[in-house]
Amino acid sequence: LCQLHLAIFAPCAAMLLCLLLLVASAEELKEVRLPPRGSPLAKVPVASSSDGLLETSLRLSPVKLLGPNFSLITRAFNGSIPGPTLAVLPGDRLLLTLQNELAAPLGLAGSNEYHHPNTTNLHVHGLHVSPTAPSDSVFGVKLGPGERFRYEYSLLPDHSPGIYWAHPHHHGSVVMQAGAGAASALLVRDPPGFLPPQLDGLEEDVIMLQNLPLPLLKKAAKASE
């Protein structure tokens, strides 16, 4: 699968945006470089189900995102933007361990405002699955720095094939996580014999467009201090 990253940045000579000191020390962060304009689409790792099961993991951690005229510290799944693609079939089980590798500070507490920038959870956007833990519980599961949780999703046998996505969904930190690059494509593939041969034989490319709005990210970071 191929994925394309699209980021729109305000013009500047050299910008460094540190979102709330994601790491407490000066340890080296993994660098993620945007491909030059006109270059081939980068290959993104794909985790696919087998015999009705996909068991995998996502690690939310800080990375340094580099482009032609900017440098910023942001959050990503498994050290890449976008994160790895997940692929399942209708009727499959998806066992996904989410590991929060962000660090202190925890940030302010709040409700309908930016808060807890390093607390996270996961939402499988578009899947018709249970909204209660250990499935798609966006309000019940809250992972602080260093914590992990194993999600268990059971897809219906007649679940609609399609392109969905997985992203952090802790209320108060979504902008600084999903809005800053932490997201993965989530495919529910067509079961065998579902498509006519003319379509089933076509090459498949998944293009994921991501917009990282620096002014909004900076506002969210400042408000969460």
Q: Please list the pLDDT of the chain residue by residue as tens digits (225 residues).
A: 333 333 333 333 233 333 433 433 435 789 999 888 888 888 899 999 999 999 999 999 999 999 888 788 899 999 999 999 999 999 999 999 999 999 876 666 666 678 888 999 999 999 999 999 999 999 999 999 999 999 999 999 999 999 999 999 999 899 999 999 999 999 999 999 999 999 988 988 888 888 888 888 888 888 776
Q: How much is the pLDDT for 167? A: 98
Over its C-alpha atoms, the chain yields an Rg (Å, rounded) of 18
Q: How much is the pLDDT for 27? A: 57
Tokens of 162: 């399609």
Q: Which residues pair with 62 in a beta bridge?
A: 75
Q: How much is the pLDDT for 115? A: 82
Q: CB of 34 within 8 A of CB of 67?
A: yes
Q: CB of 97 within 8 A of CB of 150?
A: yes
Q: Kindly state the helix (H) or strand (E) to which residue 43 belongs, with its residue range.
A: strand 42-43
The SS3 of residue 188 is: strand
Place of tokens 């209708």: 90
Q: How much is the pLDDT for 51? A: 97
Concatenate the DSSP letters of all residues of 153-187 into one string. Answer: EE--TTPPPEEEEEE---TTTHHHHGGGT--EEEE
